[in-house]
Chain A
Amino acid sequence: MIRIGEKTVQRLLMAAAFSAIGGLLLIALFIFKEGLSFFIETGFRRFLFADVWDPQSGLYGIFPMLVASLWVTLGAMLLGAPLGISVAVFLVEFVPRSVMRVVKPTIELLAGIPSVVYGFIGVMVLAPFIRSTFGGPGLSLLAASFILGVMILPTIISISVDAITAVPASYREGSFALGATRWQTVRMVVLKAARSGIIASVILGMGRAVGETMAVIMVAGNAVKIPHSALDSVRTLTANIALEMGYATGRHREALFATGIVLFVVIMILNTAAGVMVRKRVSGKKG
């Protein structure tokens, strides 16, 4: 067997890695190039913390949308993460493998459904339900969080399922041998061993929630005001970009790209927070 030169393989892989990372960098640069000049000219006060968004009269305040984005993402994570991880644990630990093998692809089907379909289901079913049971316009922060929570389930469930199945059986046997119940084994051994995979699933799920465009536009109502209750209609940063990019020209377009930059920074903060929070909680217990 001719041995492919180890060096050439290394170089090939490095080339692939750098082209992939190069591509991703290109997008980040593209967003920053288009939006940075606007960001510097307008400055934080009139952009990030102003709360009137009216491009026609040159007002570009995105504070209400920043608040809305954080609330919607938080809502989606409160629904998606615990539900997703519970389903993953249940499928791997408490259900026969044959059942899991059927259920997992069907759950992943949720990932294949276009978000515009979720949007329509939200407008035609979820919003009227919220309006009749809780009042308000129906198209609201609650509706957006619920729909996003459902949409990130496949990401969180399938990656967590893989992380949990990857935990070697010997870990579980060791714990059973010490008389632990299955749940104690899961809590004390399995989840800790699968922790990095589960964190990855939560982070990717959150990324998907923050990045979702179409479904959020259709169910959130898109009113530009700071939500005082979950029933208020809100507009997230992402929705704002998608809503107006089709018609935006000149400074308005630059403002939307600047919103993209803000979004990028928000995601960075959320990712670091998620990583730190989980690490601290876990080490806290060990300490």
Chain B
Amino acid sequence: MEGLYSGETMGPMPVKFSIQQLSTFYGSVQALRSLSMDVATNRILGVIGPAGSGKTSFLRTLNRLNDLLPDFRVEGRVLLDGSDIYGPDTDPVLLRRRIGMVFAMPVPLPMSIYENLVYGPKLTGIRDYQRLGEIVEKSLRAAYLWDEVKDRLNLPALRLSGGQQQRLCLARTLALGPEVILLDEPSSGLDPISTARIEEALAELKSSYTIILVTNNTKQASRVADETAFFLMGELVEIGPTEKIFTAPGDSRTEDYVTGRFG
């Protein structure tokens, strides 16, 4: 089923996610209010909006991480390559292997760097020591961390610096070989150099992954994202190519937010 961009002339792009009237509830509290949008494949979608606008909740709904919350409920549909991820025959475990996620605060597992990286692949049954070594190197290089850690892979991950830990988390997600990468404010609390490293990595990764980057740093969105979506109070206010959103937004609320007048 082909999803078209809303109001975009650049010809139909292959769609990774097609989200239709998505609403989410934590018990009685509603987080997202009937969201509808399409996410193009192999491009970076920036998601901006003030705190509490439902950005993170949206992200965690895509890889069904919100299932961990006891009274979480979903309405509407989220199609990944055409099939509804909340449908009965979707196995959330397999889904999460296709959709990797990097959290706001870097959370390395309390194991060595090596064990952190091979954690995902081993779950899919890869046992061959040689193959694991390749995956580790490939993903560390993709996250621009290989040179700094290649000869101390047995070091406990908690001994790395903040920036290195975040890149390790990115590498760990890449090691899983996902199709989509979700990033939840990856550079919050990082120094400019580490932030630049992450953004370089994302630009590089765009060619082989669909990336959704949630950030409250509008500059980062304008630098990195191909398309940008503006969330407010759980609603999708507007979505479109990044320079259109930042120079000629269709909705006054987007304009106020992007020019920094509020939020």
Please, how many residues of chain B have a CB less than 8 angstroms from a CB on the other chain?
6
CA distance A3 to B122 in the complex (A): 11
Give per-residue flags for B109-138: 1 if the beta carbon is below 8 A from chain A beta carbons, else 0: 000000000000011110100000000000
Instruction: Kindly list chain B residues whose C-beta atoms are within 8 Å of the C-beta of A40.
Output: none
The total number of A-B Cβ pairs within 8 Å is 6
CA distance A3 to B125 in the complex (A): 9
Interface of A is mostly: loop
Instruction: Kindly list chain B residues whose C-beta atoms are within 8 Å of the C-beta of A3.
Output: 93
Q: Is A113 on the interface with B (CB-CB < 8 A)?
A: no
Instruction: Kindly list chain A residues whose C-beta atoms are within 8 Å of the C-beta of B125.
Output: 1
CA distance A1 to B93 in the complex (A): 14
Closest to B158 in A: A169
CA distance A1 to B119 in the complex (A): 12
A171 CB, min distance to chain B CBs, angstroms: 14
Instruction: Kindly list chain A residues whose C-beta atoms are within 8 Å of the C-beta of B124.
Output: 1
Closest to A6 in B: B93
- List CB contacts (< 8 Å) of A84-139 with chain B: none
Instruction: Kindly list chain A residues whose C-beta atoms are within 8 Å of the C-beta of B122.
Output: 1
B34 CB, min distance to chain A CBs, angstroms: 32
A168 CB, min distance to chain B CBs, angstroms: 11
- List CB contacts (< 8 Å) of B121-171 with chain A: 122-125, 127
Instruction: Kindly list chain B residues whose C-beta atoms are within 8 Å of the C-beta of A1.
Output: 122-125, 127
- List CB contacts (< 8 Å) of A1-41 with chain B: 1, 3
CA distance A1 to B122 in the complex (A): 8
Closest to A169 in B: B158
CA distance A1 to B123 in the complex (A): 7
CA distance A1 to B127 in the complex (A): 8
CA distance A1 to B132 in the complex (A): 14
A7 CB, min distance to chain B CBs, angstroms: 12
B93 CB, min distance to chain A CBs, angstroms: 8
CA distance A3 to B94 in the complex (A): 12
Closest to B126 in A: A1
Instruction: Kindly list chain A residues whose C-beta atoms are within 8 Å of the C-beta of B123.
Output: 1
CA distance A1 to B124 in the complex (A): 7
Closest to A1 in B: B125
- List CB contacts (< 8 Å) of B82-129 with chain A: 93, 122-125, 127
Which A residues contact B (CB, under 8 angstroms)? 1, 3
Closest 6 CB pairs of A and B: A1-B125, A1-B122, A1-B123, A1-B127, A3-B93, A1-B124
Residue contacts A-B, CB under 8 angstroms, 6 given: A1-B122, A1-B123, A1-B124, A1-B125, A1-B127, A3-B93
